[in-house]
Amino acid sequence: MWLLVKLWNCPFFKEYYESNWAKNAMLYENVEEFVTRIERKKIFDPFSLIKLRSSGITSYRTIWNNSNVEFLDAFGRRSERRKWIYCIENIKILIYTVSLSEFNLVEYNNVEVMNDSLEMIGKLFGNGLLSDARKVILFTKPDILVKKLQKRMEYSRKINSVVRPELEIISNDYNERIVINSIITEYLERVSFHLDSYHIVNVTSEEEVRSVTELIFDNVTTPFISPCLLPITNRMITTMYNIYLRKLLTDIQIITTINELSP
């Protein structure tokens, strides 16, 4: 682990890694965040920053608000998706995840990742077996998207400059507001008649994941916008408001005394 930290702090290694990442290479996107957390001695789940197994179906159970909840995670390439048909019956909530940072990635067969995702969501949301399920889109990795734009990676997909009202609060220092609006618009145009809500979340933040989970289970349709996309002046306000909603604030009185020096 500390070997990675030392390597990452070598300029040539970091530059080489990021130059290959910039060329659409399917490399880990959160190395810098991983190293930063280690250096700051933060306690965190390392698996929240890396990709896990991306094929097959995984099932796990948990308790939410005193109710038993079963999650089914479905992954895989085109050839593996036929397995999904066996687990989509009786689904109450369908959550489709879209990585915002994959706007410039191409798969091994020269298919653009986002085009494949758009095709898949059209088929999935229109499936009659899911007609009664609530449908939610999670747009993830907004922080990685911003990093790519900071490095002047080109966004070559269709631009939609008519910004949706709920996205106007997003910072636009690197055109992230326009890019995110364009991506989200593409998806909403594909599934507008079937979609119940969408959220933009940084899944490496436990607080954001918790907030979005609450919104989904409470059937709140107002989009959650990741604080990492807001102008710096607005981030503290948003963070404090989220803490307030979770009832973690208490009254604090700070008393200071000043002892006057005698002449």
How far is residue 140's CA from residue 228's CA, in Å, rounded to a whole number? 12
Q: State yes or no: pLDDT of 240 exceeds 90.
A: no
Residue spans per domain, the chain: 1-51, 88-245
Nearest Cα residue to 146 out of 181, 101, 112, 178: 101
Looking at residue 254, its pLDDT comes to 46
Fold of 88-245: Rossmann fold (3.40.50)
The chain-wide mean pLDDT, for the chain, equals: 81
Decide if 73 contacts 56 (C-beta within 8 A).
no
Task: Quick: pLDDT tens for 57-116.
Answer: 778 788 877 888 888 887 766 666 767 767 777 889 999 999 999 998 887 678 888 999
Q: State yes or no: pLDDT of 246 exceeds 60.
A: no
Looking at residue 138, its pLDDT comes to 97
Looking at residue 77, its pLDDT comes to 67
Task: Please enumerate in sequence order all residues whose Cβ is within 8 A of that of 240, keeping only pairs 6 or more positions apart, or say none.
Answer: 249
Looking at residue 237, its pLDDT comes to 62
pTM of structure: 0.79
Looking at residue 214, its pLDDT comes to 92
- What would the two tokens of residue 91 be? 């689904």
Decide if 203 contacts 191 (C-beta within 8 A).
no
- 54 is an annotated ligand-binding site residue: yes
Task: Quick: pLDDT tens for 39-53.
Answer: 777 776 766 666 655
Q: Which residue has the higher pLDDT, 160 or 237?
A: 160
Long-range (24+ apart) CB contacts under 8 A made by 172-177 are 174/146, 174/149, 174/150, 175/149, 176/142, 176/145, 176/146, 176/149, 176/229, 177/229
